Amino acid sequence: MVDGAEITGLDVLGLGDVDPYPEPVEDGATFEDNALVKAREAVARTGLASLADDSGIAVDALNGMPGILSARWSGPAGQDGAGQDERNNDLLLAQLADVPTQRRGAAFVSVCALVLPDGSETVVRGEWRGQIVGERRGTGGFGYDPLFLPDDDIAAGRTAGELNPAEKDALSHRHKALQQLLPALAELAEA
């Protein structure tokens, strides 16, 4: 069943299930580029079909930034990454301090790349539209979730940081991207 997301015949492995290898440098100019860098490297290192995601937030008033720089918007992460989300949120709020609510449109973006050992590639993009609020709301999720107010009626005025995990998963950019990959995954399972 593809629409219900039930696909049998695939064994799903995580990075912890394969021999370790160095993370590839994400030096692409787009989410698509970086997702493909990661998926291609995984195929080259493991010989297995590989799925990789690159994601972030694109703010309209900032011409789509932080975009692919979302995780390191406020500079390189510390050794343990502690406080990076807080610094990124502080910087985004400062950059939008004088921007009126109606111009704070944004989208969480997720690009998933499925690369097969035969070299075939499927790339899909999911977007979750909303706006950036003026202060953190909620403690759930991670990254920019406390600042992102989804357009979805289901969210009912709550930021992504105020949604429970099941609500967020059902609405998110990753969900939308992965839904688009279901036919390719079903085809892979049948092969």
Instruction: Determine whether the annotation assigns residue 145 to a binding site.
Output: yes
Nearest to 144 by CA among 153, 136, 152: 136
Question: Which two structure tokens, joined as six digits, stand for 93?
Answer: 């709020």
Instruction: Determine whether the annotation assigns residue 55 to a binding site.
Output: yes
Catalytic-role residue among 54, 118, 151, 153? 54
Q: How many Cβ atoms from other residues are within 10 Å of residue 30's Cβ?
A: 14
Instruction: Determine whether the annotation assigns residue 142 to a binding site.
Output: yes
Q: Is-cis flag, bond preceding 150, omega within 30?
A: no
Q: Is 33 a catalytic residue?
A: no
Instruction: Determine whether the annotation assigns residue 143 to a binding site.
Output: yes
Instruction: Determine whether the annotation assigns residue 38 to a binding site.
Output: no
Nearest 10 degrees: Cα torsion 92, 97, 102, 103: -60
Instruction: Determine whether the annotation assigns residue 90 to a binding site.
Output: no
Q: List, by residue number, the catalytic residues.
A: 54
